[in-house]
Each structure stands twice: as structure tokens, then as C-alpha cells.
Amino acid sequence: MSAGSTMNRVFAWLALLSAPAAAFAAGAAGVRPPGASPAAAAPLRADLVLVTAFENRSEDRSLYWIGEALSDGLTRNIDGCAGAAVDRTDRVALREEMGVPTLSSLTLATQIRSAEELGAGMLVTGDFTAKAESVSVRARVVDVGLARTGPWITAEGSVRAVLALQDDLFHKLQSSLPVARTCAQGPVAEDGVPQASYEMLLKSFLEDAPAKREKFLKRALELAPDYLRARIELAILYRSQNALPRASAILGSIATRNPALAAEAQNLLGENELDQQHTAAAETALRRSLVMYETARAHLLLGKLALARNDMESATRELDRSRAMDPTDPELIELYDSLGKAR
């Protein structure tokens, strides 16, 4: 990049943003501000979208979960419409690395820096207000690489119909996003789940204390016992506490019309069984996952299982398939290294 084009980008961000000029000039020119992570930012992908949690500008602080709901819904719609969105876990991990509290509002500068750190060439940012049961949302798309923002887009809805509001907002933003113009209509993760249960799931995302997270997730399952997203999140929580049998138990009942979500649950169950050295149960779950929906993760875990059995031929086949589907998984390097040493 020439000095002239670098300065043009700097000036573009300075005109766009309202925070102190020095901080934004540094971010726009690719210079890491003081206190930022020393790790190199990922190369920007023009097709990758970061959707940040929407800021609550209403006087009702109890609606804090709607900001996460809007991000969650847009992320789901982008992924389901032949697009690519940054996963919530990656977004949260970066916030923790940056030392930003979960419910704090982010400046546009910090959101742009987050997109750059995650390699997202596009950013969706916004806020909402509420009065009684009415919700007013505004959002805009930021082209991070070109330092350009689109116009504010607005949507109106109800606190009692958040899923419909998510879809309406996505359709209004769709032409500005790197997604297909027409999308296949399939069952979503919240298909048939009461909104109250979805609300409990979202609130669990915003809790740092494991006990509070567990409380919200258990409440979500009381309201909708087959709610698979809540089961997956509760299993992940139990795994983080090394309560592996509890994680397997919570995934023992998998009911959903969403094949990708069912495969994710089976992959998690397979990994959990593998960690307990229950190889037969692990393989059963992973094979079932591949029947439902093929994923790189299932092939990687089957490769890991084959390595444990000293079956080098099967391990090579599974790892090669995993790499063909997703070459970015860092665990692949370790497993290929183990495969090479075992030969």
C-alpha cells in the first residue's frame, strides 16, 4: 500500500468516526494502539462479517439481552444464506483478551479494531430503543477494508416477537451484505422454541459466573426440554468444569429438525466420550453426526480416534477430508504431527 493510499484510509476513518483522532488514525493505518494484543491481526476477508451486540439505548435496562439477540439472529441468517459470520465464541474471546466487560458498550473504533483482529472485512453495528413492548432498531454495515459505512437501516418490532424482528432486520440489510440474494428456507435453531426459553439462553451468554449461566440454561430447558442449543451450551459448561459424565448425559437426548445443529451436538458428544476413553460410544456419535450433516470437525475427531487405535490409514483419510473442508483448525497441525511420528 502506498503512503498516499494509507493516508487516504486514515482520513476516511477520521471523517467517519467521532473518537479522538490519534486512536482512530492508528487503527485505520494498521498500527496497533497501546494496550492491544501483540498477536498479528488476521488478513481481512471481504466475505466475513462481524455482527456486534447491539447497544441498548432504552431506559429499560432489563432488555439488555435484546442486543445479543439481534447479533445472534443476524449471525444465524448470514450463515444460513451462503455467507460467513464470525462465531459468537470468537467475538467473546476477543472481548476478554481486550479486557472489555461483557455488557459494556463499544465505541465504533473498538468495533472496527475487533473486526480487523478477527479478519472480518465487514462489520454490522447498531443499537435499539424500546417503549412499552415496541422495539426500534437501527443498524449499518461498515466496509472495514474500504473505511466506508452504509446508511442507517431501521426496523420496528415487538419485545414479544424478537425472532420476527431479527428476520426483518436481516432482510433490510441483506443487499449490503456478502450473502446470497435468495436463501433456502430451513428450520432454524429456535424452531418451535418459546421465546422465553430463547431469552434464557441469551441471558446465559451474558453471564460470567458459571453458576448463573447454569441457572439460566436449566431454566431454558425447563421451558423447552428439547431445546438443543441450550443443551449444547450446558454441556460445554459442564465440560469446562471437567464434569464429563454430566455433559454426556445432557446430550443423551437430541431432538431437532435442524441437521447442522444436530451434527454439532453429536460432535460434542463424540468428543466428550473420546475424552472419557469411551471409544465405541465416541465413534457411534461421530458416525451419526456425518449422516446428519458432514462437518470437518467430525472427520477430525474420527482421525483422532483412529490415531488412538493406531489405525494410520483411517487417520490419514479422515484428517485429509477434514483439512479439505476446513484447513484453518489449529488442531489439525498437532494431529498431522502425531500421524507423522506414528508412522
Question: Pick the residue with more confidence: 303 or 100?
Answer: 303
- For residue 206, CA distances in Å to 100, 126, 203, 232 come to 13, 18, 5, 16
DSSP string, 63-122: GHHHHHHHHHHHHHHHHTTT-EE--HHHHHHHHHHHT--TTPPPPHHHHHHHHHHHTEEE
Grade residue 189 by pLDDT with cuts at 50, 70 and 90: confident
- For residue 328, CA distances in Å to 89, 303, 335 come to 16, 16, 13
Q: What is the pLDDT of residue 30?
A: 36
C-alpha cell at 210: 458459571
For domain 3-22+38-176, give the CATH superfamily.
Answer: ABC-type transport auxiliary lipoprotein component (3.40.50.10610)
Q: Does 1 score more than 70 pLDDT? A: no
What stretch(es) of the chain map to CATH 1.25.40.10?
195-342
The single-letter code of the amino acid at 148 is: R
Q: What is the pLDDT of residue 22?
A: 37
Q: What is the pLDDT of residue 41?
A: 63
* Neighbouring C-beta atoms of residue 191, cutoff 10 Å: 13
pLDDT tens digit sequence for 245-300 = 999 999 988 888 889 999 999 999 999 999 999 999 999 999 999 999 999 999 99
Q: Does 209 score more than 50 pLDDT? A: yes
Phi, psi torsion values for 36, nearest 5 degrees: -80, 165
- The residues with which 157 forms a beta bridge, in sequence order, are 135
Of 3.40.50.300, 1.10.3720.10, 3.30.930.10, 1.25.40.10, the CATH number of 195-342 is: 1.25.40.10
Grade residue 68 by pLDDT with cuts at 50, 70 and 90: very high
Q: How far apart are CA 300 and CA 124, in angstroms?
A: 32
What stretch(es) of the chain map to CATH 3.40.50.10610?
3-22+38-176
Q: What angle do CA 17, 18, 19 make, to 5 degrees?
A: 100
Grade residue 38 by pLDDT with cuts at 50, 70 and 90: very low
